[in-house]
Structure 1
Amino acid sequence: MKRCVSSSASRSDSSTLFTPRVSSRVSRTTPLTSVTLNPGAAGASAAVAATVVMAGVSTTPGDSLEAPATRESPGVRPETTDRTLRPGASLRAGRMTPISVLLPVHGEAPHLAPAIDSVLEQTHGGFELLILLNGAAPSPRAIGVAREAARRDPRVRVHELLRPRGGNLSTVLNEGLALARHGLVARMDADDLSHPERLGAQAAFMERHPGVLALGTAYERIDERGGSLSVVVPPCDPGEIRWRLLLGNTFAHGSMMLRRDAVLAAGGYDESCARAQDYELWTRLARPPGGGRCAMANLPRVLYRYRTSAGATRPDVAQGETVARVMLREWALLGHGASDADLAPALARMLTGGAGGRGAAIEIERALNAEGPSVGALLGHLVGTQPLRGPTQAAIEAGRLSRLREVSTKLRWFGVTSVWLWGAGRHTEWMLAHEAEIPQQIVGVADDLRAGTRLGLVLVQSPHDIPAGADVLLSSDAFEDELWEASAPHRARGVRVWRFYGAQDDRPTIVNTSHAAEPVRVGGD
C-alpha cells in the first residue's frame, strides 16, 4: 500500500510517497470514469511506450508578459543557479534540461510542505521551484513553509505578488510565466505530490518530441490523508486528445509541462477565466497549425498524485460557464470532414442497436483519431456513446449498481470466485470502478474488436486467450446481445459465459469441476 501522507510533516522523502503498489481503481478519460486495475497489472503503466511521433510545430515567441511587481521574501536568495544539485540528483547523459516549476499558493495550503518536498526530491536536479504567494491570500503558516523551503534549498524562489490583479489563478500563472527562467515550465499544485521521476520523464519526452507543446501524465487521485481513490489514465495519443478535448478536459493541470514560449505566443492563460482556465488554454494549444497534428500528449505513467479535498463539490456555475463557452467556440471552428457521409451507416447501426453496433462505435472513434474532429464524426460519437446526465443518469446508475450486486451475489452462491469481463467500453470502466462490490476477482478484460488496445492501464486481450472452464461476464449495456452471439464458439469450447442483463437461455457446459453447480440464470425478467 502507498503510505498515507501526513499533512503535518515538514519534510518527507518523496520516494516513499510513490511506493510501488497497484491502485485499486484505474480510469480513463474523457469522460472521467473510474475503472479498476487488478493486482499484477501495475507494471503495465511503466511498460506502455508513449510512442508519439509529432510533426514539427513551429512557434514564434510573442510579446513577453509585463514583468509583475514582486518582491523576494525574507531569507530567499535573490539569485540562484539552476545547476545546483541535491544529493542523489542525477544528470541525464551528462546534462540537464533546465525546468521552471510554478507552484501557486493561496489560503491555508495544509499540504504545502510535502508538495514542496516532492519537487525537491526529483531525480532530475536541473530546475528552479517558483513558489507564487498570491498577495494577502496565503496564510502566515503557508508563507512560513515557503520561506523555510527557500532558506534550506537554493533552487527555491519565493515571490509575493503585490499586484494580484484580481488574484485568480490565471493572473498568478501568467506572472509566474514571466518570472520563469527556463523554456520548459512545469505546473505543481500546493496540495498534490509529484513522483520523483516526473520532471525527468517529462523533460526527456519533450526533448525527443520538440513538436509537443504541452505534456501531462497519468495520475492517482488521493484523499486528504493520502489514501488512494483511483488512478486516471487520460488519452495519450495526440490525435485522440484533439477531439476528446472538445468534449471535456483530458489533462490534470498540476501534472503539466509546457513550452513557455509557445504558451506566451498563444497569449498565456485567459485572465477573464476565474475557473477552468487550464481547459481554455489547452483548447487553443491543441489546434493543429496548418492542419498538422495536435501538439499535446500525455505520458501513461502515474507520475502525479492529485488530492481531492473532503469538501470538494461538483463544478460550480463559473466553471460550467467557462467550459460551455470554450466548447461552443471550438465547435464553431469545426468543418465537415471528408468521411462524414461515409459514417452514416455506422451511426445508423448504433442508433438502431442492431448487429455491428460495437464495431460502428469503434469505426467512428478511429475516424476521429485519424482525420481529426469534424461536426459529423463528433455528433456520431456523442449520439452513440455519451452517457445521460442529471437525474435520469442517477436513476440508471442506482439500478445498474443494484444489478451488479445481484449478479455477483448469485455467481458467488454458485461457487464462481473469478471472472473475465468481455467488453472494453464504458460499461467495463464502470464495472472496474465498482470492483469493491464484486466478491469475484476480475482476472482480465477481453474484447474481440479491441484486443491489443488498452483500457486505462489494462491490456485488452482476445477472447481466444480465455481458458476453457473460465467464467466470463458480459459487460455491455447497449451490445450485450451482440456479445452473446460473438461468444458462441467460446461457449462451445467450454468457457462459461454469463449475461449481466438479458435472459440466459443457452446454458454452457460446465468444464471446471470446481464449479459443480450449473450456472445461475441471470438477467431474467
Structure 2
Amino acid sequence: MSHDGEYADLQEVRLQGSVLGSGLDPSLSKAQVSVVLPVRDGASTIEAAVQSVLSQQDCVFELVVVDDGSFDDTLPRLESLARNDARLIVVKQSRDGLVEALNRGLAVASAPLVARMDADDLMLPGRLSIQLAAMAKNPDWAVVGSHVHLEPPTPGMQRYVDWLNGLMSPQDLSREIYIDSPLCHPSVMFRKERVLSLGGYRDVGWAEDHDLWFRLHLAGEVMGVVPQTLHQWHDLPSRLTRTHPRYSFESMMCMKAHYLSKAFGSSMRIWGAGRDGKRMARALEGEGVEISAFVDIDPAKIGGVRRGSVPVIGPDDLNPPQPGDPIMIVMVGVIGARDDIRQTLRTLNYVEARDFICAA
C-alpha cells in the first residue's frame, strides 16, 4: 500500500542552497537515499543530528525532517539550516505522532532507499555510503542495520546494545527476532518499495519498528547488518522507548505472541514456568494458542501445573521432536541460561526456528 496519494497535500518547506556535499561528483543530482528523521520538541539536539547527516560523503542523499508540531524552536532552527542546504527538506504536521511522521517522511522521500535517523542521535561518518554498498552487494536484503554506540552507557540499555552488536549476519537477525528488536531503528536503511508493500509503519499498540521487522520476516524478506559501529544512539530519559506504553514489556509480549501465533500455529510449549513464561502463556492464549506444557528445571515446579491445568515437566521428560509436535518457546533470558537451554534442546535434535524459538 502506497502513501503517496494520502500525503499529496503535505505542507513542504523547501529552501534553496547548495545541492551536493563536498567530495561528490557535481553531475550527480538524483538522491540515492532519503534520510527520514521525525522530530518533536527537539531544539536542543536537532542541529547536531542534522549536521551529522549533512556531513556524510561519497553518496547523494536528501534529508527529510518531519516536524511533529513542535512547541519549541525546532522548526525555526530547521528552516535556518535548510536555507543553506537544499538537501534538507522540512515537512510540517500537527502533533499527529511518530508513526504518522514516519509515513509522511516515506511519502516525501524520493529515493528508492530510505535511511532512518532520530533527532537526538548522531550519524557516524561513512554510514550512508557503507550501507549503500551493502545494499548494492546484497540485492535480496530488504533492510540493513549496523552496530551502534550507546551514549550514555546505562546498564539496562547497554545489555541490549551488547546483544545487538553481537548479531553479525542475516541468520543471526532471523534467529533472534523474537528475543528483542534485532535492528536499532535509527541505524537502518531499507528498500522503500518493500516496506510500502507491507503497509509502511503501523500504530497497533506496540513498537512500530519491531512490528515492521516481524512483517518483513514473515513475508520472507531478508534483513542484514553491517557489523560496524555506524550510529551513536543516545539513551535520554525523554525517549519514547522509556515513556510511551507502546514500548512497555506487556506490549512487547503481546506483539511476540501475535507473531508467534501467525508463524507457528495454535499449540505451543513454553520452557520456563516462572514469571515471564506465565506472561507469555497469557499473551499466547489471548491469540487463541493452547499451551500444552511448561518445561522447567526447578524440582519444586516439576510435577505441578500452571494456568489451571497445564503440566510442568522437566528436561528429562522431553523426547526428540516428532512431526506435528508443538513448537517450544524458550522464555528464559538469564545471561548464559539461554545458551544452556539451546544446547540441551540441540542435544535432543531440536532445530532452532523449526522445533524451538528463543523469545526472552
> TM-score scaled to structure 2, two decimals?
0.69
- Counterpart among 256, 278, 299 of residue 226 in structure 2: 299
Q: Secondary structure at the match of 1:113?
A: helix
Q: Secondary structure at the match of 1:104?
A: strand
Q: Secondary structure at the match of 1:100?
A: strand
Q: Contact 1:65 / 1:174 at 8 angstroms: preserved in 2?
A: no
Bigger Rg, which one: 1
Does structure 1 residue 240 correspond to structure 2 residue 179? no
Distance 1:299 1:147 in 2: 33
Q: Contact 2:148 / 2:165 at 8 angstroms: preserved in 1?
A: yes
- Counterpart among 198, 213, 220 of residue 142 in structure 2: 213
Does structure 1 residue 377 correspond to structure 2 residue 317? no
Structure 1 unaligned segments of length 5 or more: list them.
1-60, 387-525
Distance 1:361 1:124 in 2: 47
Deviation at 1:223, TM superposition (A): 2.6
The equivalent residue for 1:106 is 40
Deviation at 1:64, TM superposition (A): 4.2
Q: Contact 1:223 / 1:310 at 8 angstroms: preserved in 2?
A: no
Distance 1:70 1:63 in 2: 12
**What CA deviation, in whole Å up to 9, does each residue of 1:374-403 have, x standing for no partner?**
3x311xx46xxx5xxxxxxxxxxxxxxxxx
Q: 1:314 to 1:362 in 2, by over 3 A?
A: farther
Which one-letter code corresponds to 1:215 in the other structure? V
Q: Contact 1:214 / 1:259 at 8 angstroms: preserved in 2?
A: yes
Q: 1:100 to 1:366 in 2, by over 3 A?
A: farther
**What CA deviation, in whole Å up to 9, does each residue of 1:303-343 have, x standing for no partner?**
00000115668565432343223211111123389x8449x
Q: Contact 2:42 / 2:119 at 8 angstroms: preserved in 1?
A: no
Q: Contact 1:220 / 1:302 at 8 angstroms: preserved in 2?
A: yes
The equivalent residue for 1:21 is none
The equivalent residue for 2:21 is 86
Q: Secondary structure at the match of 1:333?
A: helix
Q: 1:176 to 1:323 in 2, by over 3 A?
A: same
1:285-324 alignment to 2 at 5 Å? Answer: 285-289=216-220, 294-310=221-237, 314=242, 317-320=245-248, 321-324=250-253
Deviation at 1:105, TM superposition (A): 1.1
Structure 2 unaligned segments of length 5 or more: list them.
269-319
Q: Contact 2:32 / 2:111 at 8 angstroms: preserved in 1?
A: yes
Deviation at 1:153, TM superposition (A): 0.9
Which one-letter code corresponds to 2:67 in the other structure? L
Q: Contact 1:96 / 1:124 at 8 angstroms: preserved in 2?
A: no
The equivalent residue for 1:202 is 131
Identity level (%): 25
The equivalent residue for 2:208 is 277
1:247-262 alignment to 2 at 5 Å? Answer: 247-262=179-194
Q: Contact 2:121 / 2:234 at 8 angstroms: preserved in 1?
A: yes
Q: 1:334 to 1:272 in 2, by over 3 A?
A: closer
The equivalent residue for 1:66 is 6
Distance 2:100 2:238 in 1: 25
Q: 1:234 to 1:315 in 2, by over 3 A?
A: farther
Q: Contact 1:105 / 1:131 at 8 angstroms: preserved in 2?
A: yes
The equivalent residue for 2:351 is 367
The equivalent residue for 1:174 is 103
- Normalized per residue, the structure richer in strand is 2
1:20-39 alignment to 2 at 5 Å? Answer: none
The equivalent residue for 1:116 is 50
Distance 1:254 1:178 in 2: 18
Q: Contact 1:105 / 1:133 at 8 angstroms: preserved in 2?
A: yes
Which one-letter code corresponds to 1:323 in the other structure? M
Q: 1:97 to 1:180 in 2, by over 3 A?
A: closer
Distance 1:364 1:196 in 2: 47
Does structure 1 residue 139 correspond to structure 2 residue 72? yes
Distance 1:284 1:236 in 2: 21
Distance 1:107 1:148 in 2: 16
Distance 2:31 2:15 in 1: 24
Q: 1:65 to 1:204 in 2, by over 3 A?
A: farther
The equivalent residue for 1:460 is none
Which one-letter code corresponds to 2:40 in the other structure? H
Q: Contact 2:350 / 2:356 at 8 angstroms: preserved in 1?
A: no
Deviation at 1:72, TM superposition (A): 3.1
The equivalent residue for 2:260 is 331
Q: CA RMSD in A?
A: 3.6
**What CA deviation, in whole Å up to 9, does each residue of 1:76-96 have, x standing for no partner?**
23xx89xx32223479xx998
Distance 2:58 2:97 in 1: 30
